[in-house]
Amino acid sequence: MLRRLRDGQKDAGYTLIVVTGIGLVMLLFVATSLTVASSGYKKAHTDDDWNAALSAAYGGLEEYQTRLSNDSTYVKYGNPSAPFSATSTDTGTAAGSTLLTLPGTPNVNTAFGIGAAGTWSSIPGGASKFRYEVNTKDYSASGIVHLRVTGKANNSTRSIIADLKQSGFLDFVYFSDYEIQDPQISGASSSCVKYAWDGRVATSNCVNIQFGAFDVINGPLHSNDQLLVCGARFKGVVTSSSTTTPIYSKSGCSSTTSYFEKNTDNAPAYHGTIAMPVTNDQLQTETYTDLASVADPGCLYTGPTTITFNSNGTMTIISPWTQFTQTNSAGTVGAKPDRCGKPGNGNNQLGNIAGATIPTLPSNLIYVQSVPSNSGSDVNKGTASSPPNNFTCTNTNGIAGWTFSKNGTTIQYPMVGEDTPLGSSSTNPAYGCTNGDAYVKGAFDGSMTVGAKNYIYITGDITYVNATSDILGLISTNAVYVWNPDVATGGTSGDRTIQASILSVAHTFQVQNYNSGSLKGTLNVYGAIAQKYRGTVATSSGGVRNSGYAKNYVYDERLRYTAPPKFLTPTSTTYDVSQVASVPAAFSATGAIN
C-alpha cells in the first residue's frame, strides 16, 4: 500500500508537468485571443471612423446647400487661400465682389478653415467635423458651384467633390406660369391672370390651351397652372402646382386618352409653384463696364438687330442704331471693343447692310436694348424721326416697321404684303423701328446667351454645329416668336428646328400668326422652354390640326448639369447636387493640407 502510494506520488510529478503545460497552452491561447480581439476592436473602431468621416463630409455638403437656399448670393463666400479655391473666378453676385471672400462678423463660418490651425464645423449631436472649399470657376458660365468637403472622425478624414447647380427653368423641357394665352395677344382682361386651380373663370378668351393628340413632349414638364390635356404623349415626368382633383383637366377634349409615361397613375404629380423674374434687365447689367461684379462685360446692341450664326464659330450682326457696344451703368460713357463689332456703316461694321462678322462670345452674352430716349444723356440715344443712314421707320397701312436698304439689298419688317401680325397694335407694334428686338437664326458654334429687351424673333432654323459642346440661351422680356409672317407668298413652310434654351420672362414662346396661313410641319425644339403664359403654336378641331405646327419638344439632358452663360433663374432658388464623387482626403486629421 505504501508502494502504491509512492507510485502514486511519482505519477503526481508527471501530472503536475502535464497540468502546467496545459496551463501554459491555455494562457497562450487566451493571450492570443485577447490580441486578436484587441486587433479586431481597433479595426472595427477604424472602420467606424472611416464611415463616420464620410458621413460628416456629406453632412457638410447638406449644410452648404442649406446656406445657398437661404441666401442665393452665398456663392461669393469661401476661403480664397484654400487649395481647391485657387482657380475660382468672379461670381458676379454683388457690387464690389471680385473673387471669394470670407464672411465677416457675425456670420463667420468655421467650415472655411484650412491648415492645422484652421477651424472645423461640428456635426450636431456628434463628435464628427467637416470643412469645405468653394470653387466658382464655372459659376458665371454655367451656374455651377464646385465644392470639396472633408469630413473628420477621430483620426480618419475623407473628402468628396460635389457639383451644385441651381434648380430652375432649365430642369424642364417645358415650363409655364399660366396655361392661358398671353393677354397681350388675346386681349383678355387682367382677371384672367389667375391660376385655374385658384378660381380662374373660363371665358372665350380666358381658357387653358390644350396639349393635343398630335403633341409629343420628350422630357420633364411643369406648369404652375392646371394642365388641359387632350390626348398628348408625355415621355418625361409631368408636374403641376394644381391643387384640384383630378390634378389636370380634359374638359371639352375630343380625345381624352393621354399618356404620362413616367408618372404613376397615368397623371401629373404635384410640385410647388416656381416664381419667375419680372424682367430680364439683369442681363443688360452684364454689359456694363463700371461694375466690379462684371469682370468680363458682354456686348450691347441698340434697336432692331439681326443676328445670323455661322457654322465656323462666328456671327454676323446688323445693328444700325448701335453707337457704342458697351456702356457704364448710367449709359453716359461708352466703349467700342473690337470683339463686339465696330459701329458705323463701313465694311464689316454694324451699320453696314452686310453687317459685322465677329466670333461668338465664349461663356458670355449679348443684349439688345431699345433705343434710349433722345432727351436723355445715354450715348446710344436716338429718335425715329432721325434714324441712321439707309434706315427708314415705316408705317404702312397701320403696320409699324422698318426698312434697311443699300446697294440693292433690303432687309425689312414687315415683309411686302404682310398682314398685321396677331397681337400687334399701334401701342405695341410687332416690328417697332426703335424696339430692342433680336432677329436670330443660323448654325451656332459656341457657348452664349442672347437677351432682348423686347421681342426675339426666330427667323430660321437654329442648330448646333456640335450638339455635345455648343449651348445657346435666348431670353426676352416680351415674347419669343417663331417668325411666321402672314403673307400671300414668301412665308414660312415645312418644319422648324430650334436648338436652344428659351425663356420669355413676362410673356410667351409661340408661333407668330399660328391661326392663319398654310399648314406647317413640326416645330422641333431641342433644349428647354420657359414662359409666363402658354404660347400657341397651332389650331385644331376634332383632334385634327388646322394651322400652325405640331410640337416635338425634346429635353437637352445636358441642362441637368450645365446651363447657357448667365441664364436667369427663378426668384427663389435651391441648389441641387448634379454630380458627387469621393476623392483623396484633402486634409489630415490634424488639419494639415495633404
- Tens of pLDDT along the chain (594 residues) come to 333 333 444 444 444 344 444 444 454 444 444 444 444 444 555 789 999 999 999 999 999 999 988 887 899 899 999 999 988 865 554 433 347 899 998 889 999 999 999 999 999 887 899 999 999 988 877 788 999 999 999 999 999 999 998 888 999 999 999 999 999 888 888 889 999 999 998 787 787 888 988 888 999 999 999 999 988 899 999 999 999 999 999 888 877 678 899 998 889 999 999 999 999 999 999 999 999 888 899 999 999 999 999 999 999 999 999 999 999 999 999 999 999 999 999 999 999 999 999 999 999 999 999 999 998 899 999 999 999 999 999 986 668 899 999 999 999 999 988 988 988 888 889 999 999 999 999 999 999 999 999 999 999 999 999 999 999 999 999 999 999 998 866 667 789 999 999 999 999 999 999 998 878 999 999 999 999 999 999 988 877 888 999 999 999 999 988 899 999 988 777 788 989 999 999 999 999 999
CA pair distance 208, 196, nearest whole angstrom: 8
Q: Which of 476, 504, 528 is the last residue of a domain?
A: 476
Same domain, 274 and 286: no
Same domain, 173 and 130: no
CA pair distance 326, 567, nearest whole angstrom: 19
The count of structural domains within the chain is 3
What the block records as the C-alpha cell of 39 is 486587433
Same domain, 294 and 222: no
506 domain residue, yes or no: no
Same domain, 115 and 179: no
CA pair distance 31, 394, nearest whole angstrom: 102
Distances (CA, A) of 452 to 146, 282, 502: 30, 11, 12
Same domain, 462 and 553: no
Buried b (16+ CB within 10 A) or exposed e, 393-425: beeeeebbbbbbeeeeeebebbbeebbbbbbbe
Q: Are 222 and 240 in contact (CB under 8 A)?
A: yes
CB-CB neighbours of 108 under 10 Å = 10
Alpha-carbon torsion, ordered 238, 243, 245, 251, to 10 deg: -70
Q: Is 28 exposed, middle or buried (0-12, 13-18, 19+ CB in 10 A)?
A: exposed
Same domain, 422 and 408: yes
By DSSP bridging, strand 447-452 and strand 364-369 are: parallel
- The secondary structure of residue 459, as a DSSP letter, is E
321: containing domain:
281-476
548 domain residue, yes or no: yes
Same domain, 175 and 59: no
Long-range contacts formed by 278-283: CB under 8 A, 24+ apart:
278/505, 278/506, 279/477, 279/505, 279/506, 280/451, 280/452, 280/453, 280/475, 280/476, 280/477, 280/503, 280/505, 280/568, 281/477, 282/568, 283/365, 283/367, 283/449, 283/451, 283/475, 283/566, 283/568
What the block records as the C-alpha cell of 575 is 441648389
Same domain, 250 and 367: no
Same domain, 445 and 302: yes
Closest CA to 167 of 508, 576, 582, 591: 576
Residue type, 48: D
Same domain, 100 and 207: no
Q: Are 344 and 321 in contact (CB under 8 A)?
A: no
42 domain residue, yes or no: no
> Who's near 27: CB < 8 A, 6+ residues apart?
none
What the block records as the C-alpha cell of 288 is 456694363
Same domain, 201 and 312: no
Same domain, 75 and 128: yes
pTM of this structure: 0.82
271 domain residue, yes or no: yes
Name residue 522's beta-bridge partners. 550
Q: Which of 476, 503, 536 is the last residue of a domain?
A: 476
